[in-house]
């Protein structure tokens, strides 16, 4: 898999943000100072919230994201994480078995 992570945008940040928003795109900007990573472009609030929670943990499962964001279901967290993966803002890094059968993926935010 390939991902685009921007850094050192400086005074070009505004122009890049406007271009990405106009195209309906979003990517990660790696900043020198905290916050270490932030989203640039057109981003839904729920996607930004999920990215922030995942980035704060480093890696997380849908169950952990559900608990952190106080979502009603693990499926809601799974859908949000899948949206991050589809937008190339996060990736699946592992898979672990669930008690009673099934599996759960472990996700990491791009940083």
Question: For the chain, which residues make up each domain, given as ranges?
Answer: 5-109
Expressed in percent and rounded to 5, the helix, strand and coil fractions of the chain are: 45, 30, 30
**pLDDT band for position 44 (cuts 50, 70, 90):** very high
pLDDT higher than 80, residue 35: no
Instruction: Give the pair of three-digit tokens for residue 33.
Output: 């100072």
Domain range 5-109, CATH architecture: Orthogonal Bundle (1.10)
Q: Higher pLDDT residue, 33 or 47?
A: 47
pLDDT higher than 80, residue 109: yes
- The pLDDT of residue 28: 92
pLDDT digits (tens, 9 = 90+) for 54-102: 999 989 999 999 999 999 999 999 999 999 999 999 999 999 998 888 8
pTM: 0.88
Contacts with 104 (C-beta within 8 Å, 6 or more apart), sequence order:
61, 62, 63, 95, 96, 97, 98
């Amino acid at each position: 898999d390939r991902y685009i992570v921007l850094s050192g945008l400086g005074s070009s940040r505004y122009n890049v943000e406007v271009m990405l928003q106009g195209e309906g795109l979003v990517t990660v900007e790696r900043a020198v100072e905290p916050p270490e990573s932030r989203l640039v472009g057109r981003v839904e609030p729920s996607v930004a919230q999920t990215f922030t929670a995942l980035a704060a943990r480093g890696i997380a499962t849908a169950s952990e994201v559900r608990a952190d964001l106080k979502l009603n279901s693990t499926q809601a967290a799974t859908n949000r994480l899948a949206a991050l993966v589809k937008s190339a803002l996060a990736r699946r890094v592992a898979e672990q078995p669930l008690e009673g059968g099934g599996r759960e993926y472990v996700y990491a935010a791009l940083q």
